Amino acid sequence: MISNDDGFQAKGINALVEMVADMGDVLACAPDAARSGYACAFSAVTPLRMQLRKKEGNVEVWSCNGTPVDCVKLALHEFCQERMPDIVIGGINHGDNASVNTHYSGTMGVTLEGCMKYIPSVAFSICDYSENPDFQPLRSLIRQIVSKVLQQGLPRGVCLNVNFPLGPFKGVRVCRMAYGTWYDECVKEHHPRGYDYYWMVGSYRNDEPQADDTDNWALTNGYVAITPTRIDVTAYEAMEKLKDWKLQTS
């Protein structure tokens, strides 16, 4: 199963479908328009619709008017009652999803939703925000990673966040998420009709630029970054300290 947050018409998801089409039956269900930044959001008050966009051989492509997570939930409910996917893939996203972007990304929303359903799941993104990137340099590694996940699976509660730099690639790094901060995120404007409005924009800062074990470092230095990402966000290292607080209920 494949989805994204750039929409079913985006070059990234169409390139991804083509790359893996000979590896099994492919079911793609993606938003009917761009839904970047929707993370794990789902539609609680909006009725959802699906539309078949293409059916050729072993490939079906559907669109949905909801979020990336809606697409996964609906596709699982409608098409996978008797046959669950062997893998859920998000992407290929136009733009990276490294560092804290993981928490905002609709591409990672796809992958986290698959992981929460105990399906091995992978997200692919490239550090290119244009509508027409060259995805062919990614082909070999994407096929290798998908093949490894299909053969070996992933640990329960763990998915993969794979980010590609602009090529050529120096190699592959398995790395952690960098600490980073978005700042200057709101731009205030004044409408001619007399009211203020705001654009959410911002700039990203790597808060540990010297650390060479992070996804930001890997991408900045020309390496493909693979970050194993957990569903369980419990801060286990803080549990004992909190227990020492000895809180009383009365």
Least confident of 15-19, 70-74, 104-108, 128-132: 128-132
Averaged pLDDT score across all residues of the chain:
95
Residue 40: pLDDT above 90? yes
Predicted TM-score of the model (pTM): 0.94
Q: Please report the DSSP string for 162-215 in residue order.
A: EEE-SSS--EEEE-BPPPEEEES-EEEEE-TTS-EEEEE--EEEES-TT-TTBH
Residues in the chain, total: 250
Residue 250: pLDDT above 90? no
Instruction: Round to whole Å and give the CA distance between 13 and 90.
Output: 8
Averaged over 217-223, what is the pLDDT?
97
Instruction: Round to whole Å and give the CA distance between 219 and 73.
Output: 31
Averaged over 68-74, what is the pLDDT?
97
User: Which H or E run contains 239?
Assistant: helix 236-243
CB atoms within 10 A of CB 236: 7
Of all residues in the chain, the percent with pLDDT exceeding 70 is: 100
Q: Please report the DSSP string for 31-73 in residue order.
A: ESS--TT-TT---SSS---EEEEEEETTEEEEEESS-HHHHHH
Predicted pLDDT of residue 248: 86
Averaged over 16-30, what is the pLDDT?
97
Predicted pLDDT of residue 164: 97
